[in-house]
Amino acid sequence: MGWTPLYLQMDEKNVLVVGAGEVGSRRARRFLKTGANVIIIGRKIPEELSELGASCKPVLEVEEWVEWSDIVIVATGDGELNEKVAKLASHKLLNRADNPEEGNLIVPSSFFIGDVQLCISTGGKSPLMARELRKKIQKVIKREDILQLELQNFTRNILKKKIFDQKKRRYYLYEILNDENIDELLREGNLEGAKKYIKQYLSSK
């Protein structure tokens, strides 16, 4: 109890990843792609991470880099080191890949389908099931769902200029969401045709 999902703006935030193995590298890659500054504690890091902007530092400097960081990721196979870093980072946002409940930040499995980002967390109970659930979700969400997202955004921008009543805007958005003609256009992948249909539909509103 007590956990809640959040999105954090990570641009220029400082992230320390303790551990350069598979898990640590995966977490580092994820934060690097958001624009964060990433330091990895380990002997050596993959060339890909260096190219993305990560720096590698020795374990002897861990205390200094914990103080530098906004978020600390503990991802080593050394239980003693993990405990040491967790204590040093007790005043920070702390993700423990070895024992998520012992930290105060969980990094969920995350993936994109078009512009839709989906996150799955099992609370550390089963990373394997998180991957399996991801596969099932990817099968359920169709191409036309992503196109509908684009169309809804397109429609909202038009409605904001034409209709100031939020309830009326919501009404038209639901009308468009349930319009069979639009559904057919999106199933055909014809987003531009759907936009043209929307413009005609809203022209008299």
Question: Cα(110)–Cα(164) distance, rounded to whole angstroms?
Answer: 36
Q: Domain residue spans in the chain? A: 14-107, 108-141, 143-202
Mean pLDDT along residues 70-91: 97
Confidence of residue 192 (pLDDT cuts 50, 70, 90): very high
Residue with tokens 């405990």: 83
pLDDT digits (tens, 9 = 90+) for 87-132: 999 999 999 998 888 999 999 888 888 888 999 988 778 888 988 9
pLDDT at 178 (0 to 100)? 95
pLDDT above 90 for 33: yes
pLDDT at 2: 82
Considering the entire predicted model, what is its pTM?
Answer: 0.82
Identify the band that residue 183 occupies on the pLDDT scale cut at 50, 70 and 90: very high
Residue found by looking up tokens 């512009």 in the block: 115
Condensed to tens digits (0 to 9), the pLDDT of residues 136-174 reads 998 999 999 999 999 999 999 999 998 999 999 999 999
Q: What is the pLDDT of residue 90?
A: 94
pLDDT of res. 9: 97
Residue 205 or residue 91, greater confidence: 91
Between residues 126 and 30, which one has the greater pLDDT? 30
Q: What is the pLDDT of residues 36-68, one digit of tens each?
A: 999 999 999 999 999 999 999 999 999 999 999
Looking at residue 126, its pLDDT comes to 86
Q: Which CATH architecture has domain 14-107?
A: 3-Layer(aba) Sandwich (3.40)
Q: Which of 19-33, 96-110, 172-186 has the lowest mean pLDDT?
A: 96-110
Task: Give yes or no for a contact between 57 and 14, defined as CB atoms under 8 angstroms apart.
Answer: no
Please provide the DSSP assignment of 143-202 as one string.
Answer: HHHHHHHHHHHHHHHHHHHH---HHHHHHHHHHHHT-HHHHHHHHTT-HHHHHHHHHHHH
Query: What one-character DSSP code corresponds to residue 61?
Result: G
